[in-house]
A and B are shown apart, each in its own frame.
Chain A
């Protein structure tokens, strides 16, 4: 077999990495290269350096060290029974690519994952070597995200956390039954134990900045995970319950939802159809509402039917339409918690409403100015010059607020 060129390897190993949804480069410590003669910085907010036509941000060089893998997870493009072309980078090749891309301002840093080869320790050690070389040999201060390989030794985890900004372990499936069906060699308890171990190290690193300054660094951007949506039979209630359980247990910064998307040389046991992108979008909205708007999982799920979110309207509107007894809300008097539950009002709009009503009572047009839109808001609020009357309980309200599919033109 002829040796693969570096460019061919790059094509194979980035193609193999694209099913990992996370590309975040935010939320790490503030750090830069000033005065070091090196390169790299992280300043809190992430930067998306490009966008692919799939609408996804390209922030990091997201690649696998190798797509050889001992596991045969049905949903995975790199499963051992697949005939995709296999490749493997050397540590030096990944380091050079990262630096070359970074110096041209193409990326914020590296997202390095890998198929599991030989053993968890061997694989994890290879990932750690890349990160160590970037930090130690090249004074690289950019962002590094490393995959945690379940069952690797604690020493390797500690070292990974020392070099990396973020660590992640994918829960893969929303339910343990789903995982057993599609990834029979993976054990849910081992995946969750890996996350628990990361949480343990994050706790040791200290709850606040002061405490952290005195201890060895450990993954300042925390940990995240991903689950695949639509490859098994789990409904949205199960998915969101899983997410809530993970957020509560492992100090996760993010749970990523990845609509299952057809893969090359796919197993016939999988749904071979376009990825459920709208479902994925609604799950992200629901996740956001649960984390920042004070909703809980049962409330969100109650907006849909049979454990599935409403695909045609957003989950907050769906909940509001089924909880009309709680509306209308008086924008001049309601507390922040209730304002956040009004469809069409985001956290920024709510802040502006609260700050503006210290100056004068808000009229409907003021709310429109602040929210940028009023159609969705109007039926659910009262303002100085507005009361929705029967609009709130109108049986046609849902139909009226459901976005119409775009009218197609004749051709």
Chain B
């Protein structure tokens, strides 16, 4: 039997040094007795592994995952950790895939240890409570007493160093202590609770906060205890409040429920008088009025999930009004029509055929974005007849207020809305249509249709047809303008 005596309870490098020697010498796990220095000796015929030649280079290979887990597992308080780790190391030499089998006892032990150690370290980050000390020179220092379940101070102290760079602090545990003076971490021997001050000037504020942020109507003591186990309470200043808060919770809750609402304070009445009259009841006479009022529109259900109504944009008396289907994702977020990819297609074509963009008003048949949520994306859905009909109110209003010479319906939805009957683009495009209010209507595709055509040839063909339609629009505007 080989005896290995370790000087530190959680020094991975030390354990690895011994493990390499044993592995190089081919000593199997059941031939090794791992002990801490100072533990009672074994049998007389034990041979110290120290006698083996030192090895300071890798003697085998292990998956990276084993190294990561072993460095944490070695901080566990279970005395068997050294031997179990060596057993795993030994087994990994003949089967380096074995960590993937979650049903092996050694693997579940390793998993259990590493998660216990990580939790212990995490709880240290959470439950260390520094107390401030002013020394004679007026310098402020901070000290905390903490009792971890495992040997986790060394692995956790760098976290405190990164977090509290500008403070001088110490964390004392029963087995070791850590110090930060602003430049480097130092470790010293363990200590006791009386090594740190018992009081702190800010603790009462903290207790006030703890008591006030607690909601007595939601008492869930078991939840609190599972996340903040009772064993930690003795070193948490706020814990002394827990019992009285629980005791009084029911009463506080029923008092809140039973108390009748009081009359509002006079400040409230003054504020109410200053509130502006709600919009919408007054008559809409300008585009600006309409733009405000449309935000309160409830004529259909689309307002429920869209961000906002997207009203038309352009000069008050534009020559031409382009009417699309509905705002898309980007238009919905920004509150402006035709700013997405389809808008760019439209702008380019308008510019190319020579329509003056500054005299164009763009809007949609439906003012709210209709979509189907899919994870982190919104998928466009076409509005139905009822929604188009409901929104006709706003499109009519825009026509009346802008009074364009020419209206262009982009796509079937817009054409249907403007004509009041189901429209087919291919049958209607290419010729002006006289609307009952005296305006000339042209019908063409929605620019997003061009974006959806997969093949380049088809795309070019449809783009040409789209531009040809816009040339008709341009010429019509020119004719109408000379007539005025």
Contacts and interface: CB of A to CB of B under 8 A. Distances in A.
A109 to B, nearest CB: 11
Contact of B129 (A53, A100, A104): A104
Contact of A53 (B108, B200, B242): B242
A14 B48 CA distance: 62
Nearest to A244: B373
B454 to A, nearest CB: 26
B209 A10 contact: yes
A62 interface: yes
Contact of B165 (A32, A106, A266): A32
A70 B271 contact: yes
A262 B257 contact: yes
Contacts of A14: 208-209, 212-213
Given A72-B272, A176-B303, A244-B373, A18 B212 contact: yes
Given A33-B165, A105-B130, A200-B334, A259 B218 contact: yes
B57 interface: no
A53 B205 contact: no
Contacts of A43: 159, 162
B161 interface: yes
B123 to A, nearest CB: 9
A261 B129 CA distance: 31
Interface residues on B, range: 35 or more
A192 interface: yes
Interface stretch (B11-19, B71-79, B341-349, B374-382): B374-382
A47 B122 contact: yes
Nearest to A370: B102
A244 B374 CA distance: 8
Interface in B274-324: 275, 295-296, 298, 303-309
A187 B296 contact: yes
B262 interface: yes
Nearest to B220: A55
A370 B204 CA distance: 46
A249 interface: yes
Interface in B312-363: 329, 332-335
23 contacts: A7-B208, A18-B214, A35-B165, A39-B163, A39-B167, A41-B163, A49-B126, A55-B223, A81-B265, A83-B265, A104-B203, A105-B129, A106-B206, A176-B304, A189-B309, A196-B333, A264-B256, A272-B257, A273-B257, A355-B100, A358-B97, A359-B100, A362-B103
Interface of A: 6-7, 10-12, 14-15, 17-19, 32-41, 43, 47-58, 61-62, 70, 72, 80-83, 97, 100-101, 103-106, 139, 175-176, 185, 187-189, 192-193, 195-196, 199-200, 241-242, 244-245, 247-249, 251, 259, 261-268, 272-275, 277, 291, 352-353, 355-356, 358-360, 362, 366, 369-370
Given A61-B209, A262-B257, 20 more contacts: A18-B212, A18-B213, A19-B215, A32-B165, A33-B163, A33-B164, A43-B162, A50-B127, A52-B215, A54-B224, A56-B220, A58-B213, A81-B264, A82-B264, A103-B167, A104-B131, A106-B129, A175-B304, A192-B306, A369-B102
Interface of B: 97-98, 100-103, 108, 122, 125-132, 142, 144, 159, 161-167, 182, 200, 202-206, 208-224, 227-228, 236, 238, 242, 245-246, 249, 253, 256-257, 259-265, 267-268, 271-272, 275, 295-296, 298, 303-309, 329, 332-335, 371, 373-378
